[in-house]
Amino acid sequence: MRSQFRKAAVCAVVILAAACSDGPKLPVLELRGQTMGTTFNIVLIDPPSGTTLENLRGRIEEKLEQVEDLASTYRARSELAQFNLSASTEWIAVSFEFCSLISSALLVSQETGGAFDITVGPLVNLWGFGPQGGRDRPPADTDIEAARQQVGYTNLDADCGQPAIRKSSASIYVDLSGWAKGYAVDQLAALLNTAGLRNYLVEIGGEVKVRGHNSENRKFAIAIENPSRQHGKSYSVIRLSDAGTATSGDYRNFFEYEGTRYSHTIDPGTGRPITHNLAAVTVVHESTAYADAIATALLVLGPEDGMRLADELHLAAYFAVLTPTGVEYRPSARWLF
Ligand code: ADP
Ligand code: MG
C-alpha cells in the first residue's frame, strides 16, 4: 500500500556518523523505526543515567501514532480524514491540537500568498500523489481545472477558541503531508525535552531537529543530498545545534511522461506540478513544522520569487538550482551554515 508521506526525502538528508576526531566519544543510544510511510531515526547523546530505550520507545511510538491519528489522510479514523469526509459547511468541533495545526498551516498560506496551501488535496489526489495511488501520465486539462476550483485556503476557517474549523464547501479536502513530518519531529523533540534529554537528534523522512551537541561534543553534522540529475550522489554538509531543518525537493517523488517529470509539489496557482529549475529547498528554523511547510512554499515559488520571499521573511534557506552542468547552490541572506 502506498502510504502517507512515503515520498519523503528519505535519503535527502543523512546524519553523518562521527568522523575521525580527537573530540570525546560520548555514549549514544539510537532508536529507529517506521512511521508515516517513511523512517524515523532518533539519536540520544550522553543520556541521563537511567534512560533506556525500553522506557522511551513506547512513548515515542505512542506520540507518532497520535500524530497519524490527527493528520493522516491515509488513516480513515484520523481527525483529518473525518473532517475531509464531512460534507458540512457549519463549524465542526475538533480537538485543540488539530485546530492549532490547521490554523498554523493557514498562517503559512497567508504568508506565502497561497504557495503553501493545505487545501491542495484535490490536486494532489488528481495527480496521483494521494492515498488513492499513482498515475503514469498527466490528467486531462478539464479535470485539472475542476480540481483547481476546489482549492483555496480562504475556504477554510479555524477558530481555536471553540475549538472548531469550517469549510466553505463540501468539496474542500485538506492535505497536511507538507506539514506533518516536521510537526511530528517537533512533538518528539518536546517529548525528549520532558524526559530530560539535552543532546539529541530526531529525524523523520528527512526532516530533522537537533538539540545540544553530538557524541564529539560538536554541533551535529547533517548532509543534504545534491539533487542533480546528471551526477552521482554528493552532499552539502551543514552543522546545527538547537534548530530544526526540512528539505523539500522535486526529485524523490515523481512520475515521468514523454520526457517530462511531474513531481508531488503542486503549484496551487496553476494546478500543476512545479516546472522550474529549483530542485530543492532546505530551511533551518526553530520550528521544524514551519521549516517543512515554508520549504514547500519556497519550492513552489521558484528560484527568484522564492528567494525574494525567503529574504523578506528573514529565513535561513538554501536553494539547489539545476543548471545545464549540474547544481548551483544559492543561500538566502540569513543562511549561515
Ligand atoms: P517531502 O515529503 O519531500 O518532505 P514536502 O514537505 O514538500 O515534501 O511535502 C510534499 C507533500 O505536500 C505532497 O506530497 C503533497 O501531499 C503536499 N503538497 C504538494 N503541494 C503542496 C502545496 N503547494 N502546499 C501544501 N502542500 C502541498
Ligand atoms: Mg517537507
Which secondary structure element, helix H or strand E, spans residue 157, and what is its range?
strand 156-159
Rounded Cα distance between 122 and 112, Å, is: 20
Q: Tell me 16's DSSP state.
A: P
What's residue 16's pLDDT? 55
Q: Is residue 5 part of a domain?
A: no
Name the closest-CA residue to atom 14, ligand 1. 264
Distance 159 CA to ligand 1 centre (A): 24
Which ligand 1 atom is nearest residue 182's CA?
Answer: 6
Same domain, 98 and 153: yes
Q: Which CATH number belongs to the domain containing residue 81 in this structure?
A: 1.10.3980.10
Q: Tell me 156's DSSP state.
A: E
Same domain, 136 and 240: no
Q: Is residue 57 part of a domain?
A: no
Nearest CA among 320, 316, 321 for reference residue 332: 316
What's residue 14's pLDDT? 54
> What global pTM score does this model have?
0.93
Same domain, 143 and 75: yes
Grid cell 501520465 is found at 137
Which ligand 1 atom is nearest residue 8's CA?
Answer: 2
Q: Is residue 22 part of a domain?
A: yes
Nearest CA among 191, 165, 173, 168 for reference residue 104: 165
Strand-pair category, 28-35 with 38-45? antiparallel
Same domain, 34 and 79: no
Residue 171's pLDDT band (boundaries 50, 70, 90)? very high
pLDDT at 230 over 80: no
Tens of pLDDT, residues 134-159: 788 999 999 999 999 999 999 999 99
What's residue 326's pLDDT? 84
What's residue 193's pLDDT? 97
Structural domain range at position 263: 11-51+186-331
Tens of pLDDT, residues 52-81: 888 899 999 999 999 999 999 999 999 999
Task: Say if ligand 1 is within 6 A of residue 243 CB.
Answer: no
Same domain, 104 and 163: yes
pLDDT at 178 over 60: yes
Give the mean pLDDT of the chain. Answer: 90
Q: Is residue 97 part of a domain?
A: yes
Nearest CA among 53, 57, 295 for reference residue 65: 57
Q: Is residue 246 part of a domain?
A: yes
Average pLDDT rounded to a whole number, residues 264-292: 96
What's residue 4's pLDDT? 36
What's residue 10's pLDDT? 36
Rounded Cα distance between 220 and 15, Å, is: 8
pLDDT at 229 over 80: no
Question: What is the count of structural domains for the chain?
Answer: 2
Tens of pLDDT, residues 87-121: 999 999 999 999 999 999 999 999 999 999 999 99
What's residue 59's pLDDT? 95
Task: Say if ligand 1 is within 6 A of residue 153 CB.
Answer: no
Which secondary structure element, helix H or strand E, spans residue 247, and what is its range?
strand 243-249
What's residue 132's pLDDT? 84
Q: Is residue 180 part of a domain?
A: no
